[in-house]
Amino acid sequence: MKQLHLATSWGELRLAGGSRAGEASLVLLPQLRLALDAGRPARALVPLGDVVVSHGHMDHVLGLPAWASQRQLNGIPGGRVYVPPAIAGGVAELLATCARLEGGKPYDVEVIPVAPGEVRPLRRGFELRFFATSHWVETLGCCVEWVRHRLRPELAGLEPAELQRRHAAGEAIAEDVRTPLVAYLADTGPEVFAAQPWLADVEVLVVECTFLRPSELERARRFGHMHLDDLVERAAGLRNRHLVLTHLSRRHRLGPGTRLIRSALTPILTPELHLLNVEWE
């Protein structure tokens, strides 16, 4: 897997992962103990308590039973899996079946259906906000928001006693500041950019780029995937600090595909470009 160290307003965010369309995608944020998809088993996945499964395609879900099994073997309780409602029953059945195959107890994993628009607490100071992407099956995108409480700026400079008095009188003296830190688009066509315009300003944008050649544009549209031309078209409007690309089709060899993506995007892009594509063994 690849390791990225990304400068953000929160601090250095570590991101590990690897991706290839049809084989496996996983994006791990170990500081937040969060995995975005679990396309194949990975040792680094096991300690992470929260997993978002964007949709039911095997390249995004196959690592889940191994994650649950390894957590049970290592005595780690309380995993949570966030899934689109359409596959919640299937994912719960998959985990129950795998636990039965192993002959042991059911895994201690909660499968949580989440609909687009829902917000869930992740851990202190962080929330997950879900949205729909435009793939050919129901697919969840996910935004990690950094949430801080601060004194309302217009109250700065007041004495603590005065602030206490106002607070006691019922005045709201604090407010939440929400920073969209990471957005993960899973599998999607470009329509998601129009539906979710805030994506252009999230600090770390993780987006797929499956197809590269002009001849593959029709295929990209048919199956709800991003084409390199879609990103070229939108590059000038992206104000992110980092753009992380995933999900390269196996129609492209890793080296030439990487060079093609970099040569098309680097000259026209504001965000720093990172590629998570790997050659899985």
| CB nearer Zn ion, residue 144 or residue 226 | 226
Query: Smallest distance, Å, CB 250 to Zn ion?
Result: 11
The site for Zn ion, by CB under 5 A, has a size of: 3
| CB nearer Zn ion, residue 196 or residue 246 | 246
Instruction: Work out whether 57 is an interface residue with Zn ion (CB under 5 A).
Output: yes
> Could you say which residues in the range 150-209 bind Zn ion, by CB under 5 A?
187
Judged by CB under 5 A, the stretch of 53-61, 62-70, 74-82, 147-155 that binds Zn ion is: 53-61
- How many beta carbons lie within 10 A of that of residue 275, not counting itself? 20
Instruction: Work out whether 216 is an interface residue with Zn ion (CB under 5 A).
Output: no
> Could you say which residues in the range 99-118 bind Zn ion, by CB under 5 A?
none
Distance CA 214, CA 218 (A): 9
Query: Smallest distance, Å, CB 224 to Zn ion?
Result: 8
- How many beta carbons lie within 10 A of that of residue 43, not counting itself? 9
| CB nearer Zn ion, residue 118 or residue 138 | 138
| CB nearer Zn ion, residue 42 or residue 122 | 42
The two tokens of residue 35 are: 């995995």
Cβ contact 52:39 at 8 Å: no
Judged by CB under 5 A, the stretch of 58-66, 120-128, 248-256, 261-269 that binds Zn ion is: 58-66
Query: Smallest distance, Å, CB 83 to Zn ion?
Result: 14
Residue 116 burial class via C-beta count within 10 angstroms: exposed 0-12, middle 13-18, buried 19 and up? middle
| CB nearer Zn ion, residue 208 or residue 229 | 208
Query: Smallest distance, Å, CB 170 to Zn ion?
Result: 50
Distance CA 61, CA 20 (A): 13
Residue 33 has phi, psi (to 5 degrees) of 50, 45
| CB nearer Zn ion, residue 35 or residue 122 | 35
Residue 262 has phi, psi (to 5 degrees) of -65, -40
Query: Smallest distance, Å, CB 20 to Zn ion?
Result: 9
Instruction: Work out whether 59 is an interface residue with Zn ion (CB under 5 A).
Output: yes
CA count, 13 A, side-chain hemisphere, 52: 30
Q: Name the β-bridge partners of 167.
A: none
Distance CA 244, CA 171 (A): 43
Instruction: Work out whether 229 is an interface residue with Zn ion (CB under 5 A).
Output: no
Query: Smallest distance, Å, CB 89 to Zn ion?
Result: 19
> Could you say which residues in the range 121-150 bind Zn ion, by CB under 5 A?
none
Query: Smallest distance, Å, CB 59 to Zn ion?
Result: 4
Longest CA pairwise span in the chain (Å): 69
Query: Smallest distance, Å, CB 222 to Zn ion?
Result: 13
The two tokens of residue 12 are: 């250095």
Is 20 strand, coil or helix? strand
| CB nearer Zn ion, residue 227 or residue 241 | 227
Judged by CB under 5 A, the stretch of 51-59, 62-70, 140-148, 213-221 that binds Zn ion is: 51-59
b (16+ CB within 10 A) / e for 12-40: ebebbbbbbbebbbbbbbbebebbbbbbb
b (16+ CB within 10 A) / e for 191-201: ebbeebeebee
Task: Report the interface residues with Zn ion, using CB under 5 A.
Answer: 57, 59, 187
